[in-house]
Each structure stands twice: as C-alpha cells, then as structure tokens.
C-alpha cells in the first residue's frame, strides 16, 4: 500500500505554521486539530522544519512557560525527514523507525500534501486485521465450522 492510499481522501486542510510564529500559537493549533506534529513552512510554502509535541514538552521542561513566546524556529527540527505519496507505507514506517520520528511530512512536487503519523499506520493496520478476521469468520461459517469465541 502507498502513502497516497493511506491518506485517502482526507478533506481537512493541511496544517502548517510559519517559523516566526510564537510556539504558543503552534501548541494551540496542534491541540485544536488533535495532531502530534505540525509542519513548519516558509512564506513560499516550502517545508523548513517540523515541530512535534515531544519537542514542545522537552522545551517546556528545559525553559518553562516563557518558551511559548519564542518563535517556532527556536524549537523545531530543521532536518526534516519527508516522504512522498508514492512511497510504500512499509518503507515510510522503516524511515520513521530508523530516524526515531513519529511523523513524516508528505511532499509532492515540493509542496506539502499532508503529514502522516505512526498512528495513521496503526489505525490502517487495525482496520486491515478486522477485515481479515471478518473474512475468516465468514469462510468458517460457510464451511459449517463455528469459530471458538
């Protein structure tokens, strides 16, 4: 399966923030959208960083609440691991594991399409397993075999 298929027809607007925006604004956006990371984009729309909830927690622990007034650029990761819609989901997970990240901005022709998370992958896999389970139960029932519950 490809990232494009994982993302499906998400209709939500892709969320990003400027590197000059205050961290407090990024935290509010992440909380409102219930997302664990936000892409940081320059005025031309190019992804220049990513800010995760982990980054915020570490920053708050080190600097306290005053950190929320600092610009996003002061805390974002500026070496961003990205993927494309045509990447296999399994390869994206390998990238996440290798780099120790839980979110990958998805870029197409240099533009931000979405951010895929490890949670997205887990939810997809759970759906797949539920469908497989239903199929197996149907096949057992058709063969006259009742599964043990």
**pLDDT of residue 9 exceeding 80:** no
Residues facing residue 106 across a β-bridge: 83, 114
Nearest to 80 by CA among 59, 99, 57: 99
Segment 93-108, tens digit of pLDDT: 999 999 999 999 999 9
Q: Which CATH architecture has domain 3-117?
A: Roll (3.10)
Segment 25-75, tens digit of pLDDT: 999 999 999 999 999 999 888 999 999 999 999 999 999 999 999 999 999
CA 27 – CA 16 distance, rounded (Å): 12
- Using the CB atoms, write b or e for 28-60: b if 16+ within 10 Å: ebbeeeebbbbbbbeeeeebbbbbbbebbeebb
């Amino acid at each position: 399966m490809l990232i494009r298929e994982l993302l499906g027809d998400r209709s939500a607007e892709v969320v990003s923030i400027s590197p000059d925006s205050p961290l407090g604004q990024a935290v509010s956006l992440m909380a409102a959208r219930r997302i664990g990371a936000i892409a940081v984009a320059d005025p031309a729309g190019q992804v220049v960083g990513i800010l995760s909830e982990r980054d915020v927690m570490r920053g708050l622990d080190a600097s306290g609440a005053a950190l929320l007034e600092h610009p996003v650029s002061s805390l974002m990761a500026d070496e961003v691991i990205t993927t494309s819609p045509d990447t296999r989901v399994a390869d994206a997970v390998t990238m996440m594991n290798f780099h120790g990240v839980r979110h990958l901005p998805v870029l197409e022709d240099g533009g931000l399409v979405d951010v895929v998370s490890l949670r997205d992958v887990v939810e997809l896999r759970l759906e797949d397993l539920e469908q497989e389970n239903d199929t197996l139960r149907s096949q057992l029932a058709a063969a006259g075999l009742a599964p043990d519950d």
